């Protein structure tokens, strides 16, 4: 059973790249991660953790989704053309850190929705004709794949901003 918590969080600055991607071609989305870290290092910035995938618009897992691949930083910093800077909003977040790495994520999201509904919690979303628009839905990779090649051992944090 996955454990869920509700956490109050401060605003969290990031640098990254916004894109549209499909799960079938997620390697194109992942390709931004080393570029962001390299640009951040070249600008003298220091990462505050592993990459964060911010999901902005989704319909189904098979459809293209709007996502920002980002790296958390201590304060907003410009790292060059083609890169964005922003901040995850402060607020209450529903959070889980599932076991099983990226392959466990599909089931985790369904469990989060069901658990939130049972608790009377509502994710900060807006449903539109082109899909669900999230104010903040993230997956942060806490394990460096270069030090732990076994995907099933990767630590990941999933967080949804709540209304």
State the burial class of residue 11 (Cβ atoms within 10 Å of its Cβ: 0-12, 13-18, 19+): exposed
Identify the pLDDT of residue 1: 61
The first and second tokens of residue 146, run together, are 């270069």
Identify the pLDDT of residue 62: 79
CATH 3.20.80.10 fits 5-161, yes or no: yes
Return averaged pLDDT per consecutive 10 residues of the chain, 163 residues in all: 92 97 90 96 95 94 91 95 96 93 86 95 95 96 86 92 97
Any long-range contacts for 47-51 (C-beta under 8 Å, 24+ apart)? 47/71, 47/72, 47/73, 48/72, 48/73, 48/74, 49/140, 49/142, 50/140, 50/141, 50/142, 50/143, 50/144, 51/140, 51/141
- For residues 95 and 100, what is the distance between their CA atoms, to the nearest angstrom? 16
Identify the pLDDT of residue 2: 81
pTM for the predicted model, two decimal places: 0.93
**Domains of the chain, residue spans:** 5-161
Q: Is residue 148 classed as helix, strand or coil in its secondary structure?
A: coil
Under 8 Å between Cβ of 52 and 139: yes
Identify the pLDDT of residue 107: 87
Under 8 Å between Cβ of 130 and 59: yes
């Amino acid at each position: 059973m996955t454990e869920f918590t509700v956490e109050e969080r401060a605003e969290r600055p990031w640098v990254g790249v916004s894109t549209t991607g499909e799960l079938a071609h997620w390697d194109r989305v992942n390709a931004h991660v080393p570029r962001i870290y390299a640009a951040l290092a070249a600008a003298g910035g220091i990462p505050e953790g592993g990459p964060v995938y911010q999901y902005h618009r989704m319909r189904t897992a098979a459809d293209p989704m709007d996502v920002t691949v980002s790296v958390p930083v201590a304060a907003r910093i410009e790292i060059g053309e083609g890169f964005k800077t922003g901040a995850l909003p402060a607020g209450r977040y529903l959070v889980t850190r599932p076991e099983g790495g990226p392959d466990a994520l599909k089931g985790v999201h369904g469990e989060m929705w069901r658990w939130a509904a049972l608790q009377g919690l509502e994710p900060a979303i807006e449903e539109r004709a082109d899909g669900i628009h999230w104010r903040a839905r993230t997956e942060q990779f806490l394990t460096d794949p270069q030090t732990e090649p076994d995907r099933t051992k990767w630590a990941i944090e999933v967080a949804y901003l709540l209304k």
